[in-house]
Structure 1
Amino acid sequence: MPLGLTLAPRVLASKTLTSWVTPIAHWYANLAGYRKYGLKYDDLIIEEYEDVQRALHRLTPREQYDRAYRMKRASHASVLHNVLPKEEWTKPQEDVRFLTPHVKEVEKEDKERAMWDTVFVSRK
């Protein structure tokens, strides 16, 4: 699953761009609404990709449990057509990437495996 190209390194390298983009990013994340259901951003990654499945197996048992709990709680709130109480919303400082590093690691391993599988060895 390609995570796509990102401008984040360039934005983070510039204080001016960071000061302009950060409020917009916070506004957009709040507008998306997933935090109102107690979810983190990485909970929204599509699980059907093989790379994501392998990355999910690399989570610690506690991370797996916490993710499953967040998903069940969010689906229950969705069925009730209601958001969680405000004190149960995911706070911006809690919304850290827990799955993306594992997905990137799996993709890197796949690229390395493909490189070694297609290497051409010649005799001298």
Structure 2
Amino acid sequence: MSAPSMAPYILKRPWLKRWMMPLANWYAEAAGYRQLGLKADDLIPEENDIVQLALKRLPPKEAYDRVFRLRRAFQDKEYLSPIIRQIEAELKERADLDSVTVERKK
């Protein structure tokens, strides 16, 4: 189930739409999916039965384009590897510190 949308309320009021558009454009750019070539609907989670039915009803060309955009986006940018390397470094540092022995001066 999706969250309630303020879009119809905002679109009915031109003054509010003019005020909100710069904010909406900034947010869309800050989200980062446009730089990867994704559309907003590409970000909808696919675990929902309704979304699965909607995906089956897509025209073949649109379904192919969607899969292509998603594959390209995942291949373009490492998002998990840097975190994995950071965690490995932390674990190595922790292991090194745990194995340190302290000797008293005589």
Aligned-pair identity (%): 46
CA separation in 1, counterparts of 2:79 and 2:49? Answer: 32
- Unaligned stretches of 5+ in structure 2? 81-106
Q: Which residue of 1 aligns with 2:40?
A: 41
Secondary structure in structure 2 of the residue aligned to 1:51: helix
| Corresponding residue of 2:57 | 58
| Counterpart secondary structure, 2:38 | coil
State how far apart, in whole Å, the 2-side matches of 1:73 and 1:80 are: 13
SS in 2 for 1:26: helix
Q: Structure 1: which 5+ residue stretches go unaligned?
A: 82-124
**SS of corresponding position for 2:46:** coil
Partner SS for 1:36: coil
Aligned-residue RMSD, C-alpha: 1.5
- Please say which structure displays the higher CA radius of gyration: 2
Write out per-residue CA displacement over residues 105-124 of structure 1, whole angstroms, 9 at most, x where no aligned residue: xxxxxxxxxxxxxxxxxxxx
Q: State the SS of the aligned residue for 1:68.
A: helix
Distance in 2, Cα, partners of 1:22 & 1:67: 26
Q: Tell me, what secondary structure is at the counterpart of 2:58? A: coil
Q: Which amino acid aligns with 1:11?
A: I
TM-superposed deviation, 1:79: 3.2
Correspondence for 2:67? 68
Give the TM-score of the pair, scaled to structure 2: 0.71
Paired residue for 1:6? 5
**What's the counterpart of residue 31 of structure 1?**
30
The AA in structure 1 aligned to 2:58 is L
